[in-house]
Amino acid sequence: MSLGDSPHGSDGNRWKISTKSSNNLALEMEFIGVGWISLGNDPMASKVVSVPSYHLLQAGFWWPSLFKDTHDFIARCDRCQREGSISKRNEMPQNPILEVEVFDVWGIDFMGPFEPPSHGNRYILVAVDYVSKWVEAIASPTNDAKVVLKLFKSIIFPRYGVPRVVISDRGSHFINKVFENLLKKYGVKHKVATPYHPQTSGQVEVSNKQIKGILMTIVGVTKKEWAVKLDDALWAYRTAYKTPIGRTPFSLLYGKSCHLPVEIEYKALWAIKLLNFDIRSAQEKRGFDLHELEEISLDAYESSKIYKERTKAFHDKKILPKVFKVGEYALLFNSRAKLFPGKLKSKWSGPFEIKEVLPYGAVTLLNQNGEEFTVNGHKLKPYLGQRIQGEGVSTPLADAPLA
């Protein structure tokens, strides 16, 4: 049948295709107005791929699985699968990191570069304890491995001991032989986030945002004193109430409230009472505080557990379910794709074969050269592949029987 030919017989009856092998022929053509066009060759076909069954019925074609086959045809369309972007609904289920011992797990990350620089510093290296939410940070001119070593050698190790785990992203300042040798020397395990998935380091990302907000509030108009104000920002962060642990990081760590300078300056009543304790009374009270510290830690653990369970439930009920199986294929969203030179260029690459489905939402893929790489499932979507041609003999429309 040529373009513009009528889909009906000379007597006006509809064609009825009873052989399954002819389905592909019908699905490869779309009825627009009074003509036929090919879905595979004409760009206008994408305008109506959402309702091909309707047009096929209008054209006079029918078979028992018409709507099912049409849905399958659209789902396997290569160009259609490469359209669109990703959102929070495409994320994988959350897997919260819940630790028991204080200073066992630290998350580290760089903030910056900041403009204008402050006393030659452009970056801030932040370290966050996953249990107490205690934060340490240093300002630096660069974001390299030397700054990371300085943080651990001068602050983390001497003040808080050797942790079990350090979590970071895949930046070259964290992935290098110098830092790896230091961690190996002290028996520290280094866990690295999957590429383009900052949620793995979610705790330090949240702390970065809060510290940056405090600095923006307390720096002057010129914004050049942020390095000098960094210690004040850390103090404000450490003495602020944290919902996940149900108290401040300072009280969880030391078992007592923090005395602010303003309280001493204006001689608040409760501060005067505490300062007027004699040595024996102060010793007894401090002993009670230390005994209570373990109970405070347990309460903080339970509070954090409940908070993360609720957060996970709230998050997971809003995401779309995705299942990845070994041997199947998936498309990878290229988050680094630029708008130019072409805005119409697809941001999905692949398909890549799925080699292994790892815990916590990570998936190992194989590229065309057989090389392995791991990404988070948030950046993937299952690839259904091209439509497979059915077996059988096609019936020419000119020879098709009338209904």
Q: Where in the chain is the domain with CATH 3.30.420.10?
A: 105-315
pLDDT tens column, 70-123: 777 777 777 778 887 887 787 778 777 766 788 888 999 999 899 888 889 999
Given a cut of 90, is residue 140 above it in pLDDT?
yes
Q: Residues 372-388: what's their mean pLDDT?
A: 77
The amino acid sitting at 228 is V
If you write DSSP's letter for every residue of 277-316 in order, what string do you get? --HHHHHHHHHHHHHHHHHHHHHHHHHHHHHHHHHHHHHH
pLDDT tens column, 275-327: 566 667 767 777 777 777 777 777 777 777 887 788 778 877 888 888 888 88
Q: What is the pLDDT of residue 102?
A: 85
Q: Where in the chain is the domain with CATH 2.30.30.140?
A: 321-383
Q: What is the pLDDT of residue 87?
A: 79
| H-state helical runs in 187-259 | 202-218, 230-238, 249-254
Task: Tell if the pTM clears 0.75, that is, is over it.
Answer: no
Q: What is the pLDDT of residue 166?
A: 92
Specify the CATH number of the domain 321-383: 2.30.30.140
Integer Cα distance of 276 and 286 in angstroms:
14
Tokens of 270: 């409760």
Q: What is the CATH T-level fold of the domain 105-315, as seen in this structure?
A: Nucleotidyltransferase; domain 5 (3.30.420)
Tokens of 212: 């940056």
If you write DSSP's letter for every residue of 46-70 in order, what string do you get? GGSTTSHHHHHHHHT---TTHHHHH
pLDDT tens column, 366-379: 888 888 888 888 88
In sequence order, the 6+-apart residues with CB closer than 8 A to the CB of 248 are 238, 239, 240, 241, 242, 257, 258
Residues pairing with 322 in the sheet: none
